[in-house]
């Protein structure tokens, strides 16, 4: 995993405090797509368990994997008893069990592209569902967003993670849907957006930025300077746009593999 991927552990408590949770609409969307009850799920990059709780509290037995020990420790404070935790990246997992659902919430882009989809497919039951979601958390007012951009400019050109396959933001189908559509291991690829709007204090928004990998990898002095300038540029209360782009796909019955699952 990259340095950015492993930069979150030092801020595990802040991640839990400042990152927004996931709405019940996400659970409903995934279940409607599945079309039948899902009993077991495997989570990629669970972080502090924001999405873990969404699925586990609705009766699904979740195996939550996370490579960072500090994040996993924080997760264990907040999840119900039907969650099994494993310290591992997707690349470390060997598919012993199969699951009705494999999902990743704001984490899939940290996985290695080599073998990504064969590994996910190997974890799924026949016809099982894959789901991924994510999206930026930013000021809804373009004027405020521009003020933040100007304040961080001496330190960062952008604080977003670029599309792993280079898909431009304006395309109808975004990553990972672009890869899933080209992948023989999955079918029925869909993309949807869940709109989210809420209010944060200026300090709360800077707290959120303190959990974003682009800032975490800055030298400590530059990071503090960037946060001070951003805080000075913000109004006391910030209206936030945090739309979730959701991708759904189903494990394909084709191609057939010796041994019953794709090679790793």
Chain segment 1-10, per-residue pLDDT in tens: 444 444 455 6
* Edge-first strand listing for the sheet containing 197-201: 138-139, 237-241, 197-201
Tell me the DSSP string of 43-84: EES-TTSHHHHHHHTTT-EEEEE-S-HHHHHHHHTT--TTEE
> In the structure encoding, which two tokens stand for residue 45, read together?
């990059």
Q: What is the largest CA-CA distance in the chain?
A: 60
Chain segment 194-244, per-residue pLDDT in tens: 999 999 999 999 999 999 999 999 999 999 999 999 999 999 999 999 999
- Full set of structural domains in the chain with CATH: 9-137+168-197+239-255 (3.40.50.150)
Write down the mean pLDDT value for the chain: 93
Provide mean pLDDT across the span 162-184. 95
């Amino acid at each position: 995993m990259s340095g950015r991927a492993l930069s979150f552990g030092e801020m595990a408590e802040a991640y839990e405090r400042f990152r927004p949770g996931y709405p019940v609409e996400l659970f409903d969307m995934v279940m409607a797509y599945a079309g039948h009850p899902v009993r077991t799920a495997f989570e990629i990059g669970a972080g502090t368990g924001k999405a873990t709780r969404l699925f586990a509290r609705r009766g699904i037995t979740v195996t939550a994997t996370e490579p960072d020990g500090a994040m996993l420790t924080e997760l264990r404070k907040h999840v119900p008893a039907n969650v099994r935790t494993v310290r591992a990246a997707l690349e470390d997992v060997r598919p012993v069990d199969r699951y009705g659902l494999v999902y990743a919430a704001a984490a899939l882009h940290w996985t290695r592209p080599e073998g990504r989809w064969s590994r996910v497919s190997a974890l799924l039951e026949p016809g099982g569902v894959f789901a991924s979601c994510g999206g930026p958390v930013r000021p809804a007012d373009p004027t405020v967003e521009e003020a933040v951009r100007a304040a961080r400019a001496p330190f960062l050109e952008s604080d977003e993670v670029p599309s792993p396959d280079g898909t431009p933001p304006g395309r109808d189908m975004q990553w990972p849907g672009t890869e899933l559509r080209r992948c023989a291991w999955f079918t029925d690829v869909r993309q949807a957006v869940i709109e989210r709007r809420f209010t944060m204090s200026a300090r709360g928004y800077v707290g959120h930025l303190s959990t974003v990998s682009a800032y975490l990898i800055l030298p400590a002095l530059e990071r503090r300077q960037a946060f001070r300038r951003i805080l000075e540029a913000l109004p006391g209360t910030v209206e936030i746009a945090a739309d979730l782009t959701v991708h759904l796909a189903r494990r394909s019955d084709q191609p057939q593999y010796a041994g019953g699952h794709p090679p790793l």
